[in-house]
């Protein structure tokens, strides 16, 4: 075959991370649709629970690592059925999403999306572990690079792309009118169509992997035997007896509180203060360039954790500046030639720092992970960060829901 194995590994993991990113991007776009439908911070705080599966996937990660069918391989045993369920779940959701959003049926929407995110978190365990195995003989930082670039493109499709081209106003003005096409009441696609398309996409990719890609069995020697389920859980518990692991846990759980409000409330606040969905999509669209370039630059570093630590103070500073600027959105939004250039500059700087920290963090995870329990090891360290993010977001959204309207 003219394509070398590492290239194939990159392509496979990239596609899987793109699919994962689309779901994650969609889950973060739904609050924007809820805001347009009239949802308040209380409804947003309820919906925020959909992200919690990523904070607790460590509970079932060892099961995915240990139990598998030899014929299909350690990762494909779980990956294939999970992706089939994800595809089916998205297709079913596409028939109910308009009703859930337009009538603010937040509880059933949260339950449904929670189930989909649960499956996505499980898929993430499989892909993380598989990627560690695929890149074991090369630079493991490629795992973080594939993950960051794939999720970035997927999140872009599920957020900026969706918000922009789902808009009838944008599509009529900038696509149909120049092409002399008939004006319509919808964009290039509707939200249900978008969700259904990616549900089918999950099923197609699953079939391709099942029939055209065979997972290579791991080479096991006397020093690296497969671990049993109880051994996997014991390995996790032993890690927390180490001082450095406790320090890392503290950092990953506490650090998100410094930027939680800016990270989780900015887009909702912009729409709530008069910015349209399609405008938000256009403003955030150029950021995908930053999200692709930064992982490529940092993929060559061999000391990723230093980057994570050094970038934290600048991130806090830019969050303060964004928070102050968002406060004056209602007064500045009517002066677009002033408001949007400054906003985009703040966003570019912020996203550069966010993705530099993300790549550095995931690269560090890949360096310290044990391939035999790669899914569990990667899940453990990523779960710690996810707990910090989800808990901090719940706290700030709960506080926002209690504030008087003039301050919320």
**Which domains, ranges and CATH numbers included, belong to the chain?**
5-402 (1.20.1250.20)
When pLDDT is averaged across residues 132-159 and rounded to a whole number, the result is 78
pLDDT, position 364: 80
DSSP letters for 41-110: HHHHHHHGGGGTHHHHGGGTHHHHHH---TTT-TTHHHHHHHHHHHHHHHHHHHTTHHHHHHTT-HHHHH
Summarised one tens digit per residue, pLDDT across range 8-17 is: 778 889 999 9
CA distance 224 to 229: 15
pLDDT, position 5: 44
Q: What phi and psi, each to the nearest 5 degrees, are found at residue 188?
A: -65, -25
pLDDT, position 300: 64
Summarised one tens digit per residue, pLDDT across range 212-266 is: 776 665 554 444 455 667 777 787 788 788 888 888 889 989 999 999 999 999 9
CA distance 53 to 46: 14
Q: What phi and psi, each to the nearest 5 degrees, are found at residue 41?
A: -60, -30
CA angle centred on 81, ends 77 and 84, rounded to 5°: 150
Q: How many other C-beta atoms are found inside a 10 Å radius of the C-beta of residue 136? A: 13
pLDDT, position 134: 75
pLDDT, position 385: 85
């Amino acid at each position: 075959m003219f394509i070398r194995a590492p290239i194939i590994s990159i392509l496979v993991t990239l596609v899987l991370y793109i699919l994962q990113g689309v779901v994650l991007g969609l889950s973060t776009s739904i609050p924007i649709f809820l805001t347009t439908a009239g949802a308040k911070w209380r409804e947003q705080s309820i919906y925020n629970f959909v992200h919690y599966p990523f904070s607790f996937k460590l509970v079932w990660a060892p099961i995915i690592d240990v139990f598998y069918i030899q014929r299909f391989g350690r990762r494909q045993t779980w990956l294939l059925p999970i992706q089939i369920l994800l595809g089916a779940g998205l297709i079913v959701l596409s028939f109910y999403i308009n009703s859930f959003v337009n009538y603010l049926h937040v509880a059933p929407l949260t339950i449904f999306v929670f189930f989909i995110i649960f499956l996505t978190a499980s898929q993430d365990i499989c892909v993380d572990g598989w990627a560690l195995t695929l890149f074991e003989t090369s630079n493991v930082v490629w795992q973080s690079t594939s993950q960051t670039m794939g999720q970035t493109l997927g999140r872009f499709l599920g957020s900026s792309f969706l918000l922009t081209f789902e808009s009838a106003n944008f599509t009529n003005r900038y696509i149909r009118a120049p092409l002399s096409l008939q004006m319509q009441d919808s964009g290039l696609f509707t939200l249900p169509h978008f969700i259904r398309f990616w549900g089918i996409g999950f099923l197609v990719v699953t079939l391709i992997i099942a029939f055209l890609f065979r997972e290579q069995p791991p080479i096991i020697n006397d020093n690296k035997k497969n671990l049993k389920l109880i051994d996997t859980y014991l390995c996790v518990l032993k890690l927390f007896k180490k001082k450095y692991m406790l320090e890392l846990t503290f950092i990953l759980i506490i650090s998100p509180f410094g930027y939680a409000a800016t990270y989780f409330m900015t887009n909702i606040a912009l729409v709530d203060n008069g910015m349209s969905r399609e405008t938000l999509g256009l403003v955030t669209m150029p950021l995908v360039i930053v999200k692709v370039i930064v992982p490529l630059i940092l993929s060559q570093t061999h000391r990723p954790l230093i980057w994570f630590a050094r970038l934290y103070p600048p991130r806090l500073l830019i969050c303060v500046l964004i928070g102050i600027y968002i406060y004056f959105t209602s007064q500045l939004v009517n002066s677009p030639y002033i408001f949007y250039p400054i906003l985009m500059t703040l966003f570019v700087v912020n996203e550069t720092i966010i993705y530099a920290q993300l790549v550095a963090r995931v690269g560090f995870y890949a360096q310290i992970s044990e391939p035999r329990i790669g899914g569990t090891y990667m899940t453990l360290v990523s779960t710690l960060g996810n707990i910090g993010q989800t808990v901090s977001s719940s706290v700030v959204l709960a506080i926002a829901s209690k504030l008087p309207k003039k301050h919320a």
